[in-house]
Structure 1
């Protein structure tokens, strides 16, 4: 049996576990990097970013859940069933990050600044490619591989019992 299926959520509880792991890792890496690129790398700015991480995390969860169907549709239009597991996963991450980063570039600025204002519209096309790249690297190389290893371990443990 190929073990790649063991790295995927098999039910709702495992999906929730996967989402929690990925989102917690991502928000704690991506938000400080992007926030401090905007404001500067100081302890004071880092503390300001940490103060809004709970709001940012909740927003990310909501946006990820809302983006899952459009991202899945986009992924299915790009890959075929014959493509490898790694190709499927990479394109899935790419499609999800594309949509989530597009939305969070606006929402994240509003949360970080603690106000709704129009400036993110003016700087959107300058900031979004950078935000997308940071999010894609974190998702593809850190957050999702860790979450998939947790699921693999969970499934292997269940098989042994």
Structure 2
């Protein structure tokens, strides 16, 4: 039976897959947003990014699988058919996940970086479309392919190990 090698097959692999995607996305967007607003990159900015990374990563690792991942799966099932291609299902999943996560993380990132302030919601309206477009491109073109490549290599190694053991 043909098993999909590009996606996790169990919970442990799912955690690895989610960790790869979340880590790369948080690293990319935290760095991008911090440097974008600061205007340049220096030691102080790097330290600021390093302080925010664990906080943002924990938040992402909690809300993606519990809220936005489930919503994305449900919406993907509604907009695709079982006969649709892997790529179409993945693209729907990416779009729906990025839509929710970028909306939430634009707001949460502003709170984590700047605390609660009077321009919180106006900043969200201003920055969310940009964040959505940037993360959608990054996830579609770089981050998700890296995570799927790692899954393929992991499954190939598992298959080789199983073949030797048989």
- 1 CA distance for matches of 2:84 and 2:140? 18
Which residue number corresponds to residue 8 of structure 1?
7
The Cα of 1:53 is off from its aligned counterpart by 0.9
Structure 1 residues 36-45 or 92-101, which shifts more?
Answer: 36-45
TM-score (norm 2): 0.88
| Structure 1 unaligned residues grouped into runs of 5+ | none
- 2 CA distance for matches of 1:82 and 1:17? 27
TM-score (norm 1): 0.90
Which residue number corresponds to residue 52 of structure 1?
52
Which residue number corresponds to residue 104 of structure 1?
105
- Of structures 1 and 2, the larger Rg is shown by 2
Q: Report 1 or 2 for greater relative contact order, CA contacts < 8 Å, sequence distance ≥ 6.
A: 1
Aligned length: 159
Q: Is the Cα contact below 8 Å between 2:30 and 2:52 reproduced in 1? A: no
Alignment of 1:87-102 (within 5 A): 87-102=88-103
Which residue number corresponds to residue 125 of structure 2?
125
- 2 CA distance for matches of 1:11 and 1:2? 16
CA RMSD of aligned residues (A): 1.6
The Cα of 1:49 is off from its aligned counterpart by 2.2
Moved over 4 A (4+): none
Secondary structure in structure 1 of the residue aligned to 2:5? helix
Which residue number corresponds to residue 81 of structure 2?
80
Structure 1 residues 71-80 or 123-132, which shifts more?
Answer: 71-80
Which residue number corresponds to residue 67 of structure 1?
68
Q: Is the Cα contact below 8 Å between 1:32 and 1:50 reproduced in 2? A: no
Structure 1 residues 129-138 or 75-84, which shifts more?
Answer: 75-84
- 2 CA distance for matches of 1:160 and 1:28? 33
Q: Is the Cα contact below 8 Å between 1:36 and 1:46 reproduced in 2? A: no
- 1 CA distance for matches of 2:137 and 2:46? 21
Which residue number corresponds to residue 21 of structure 1?
20
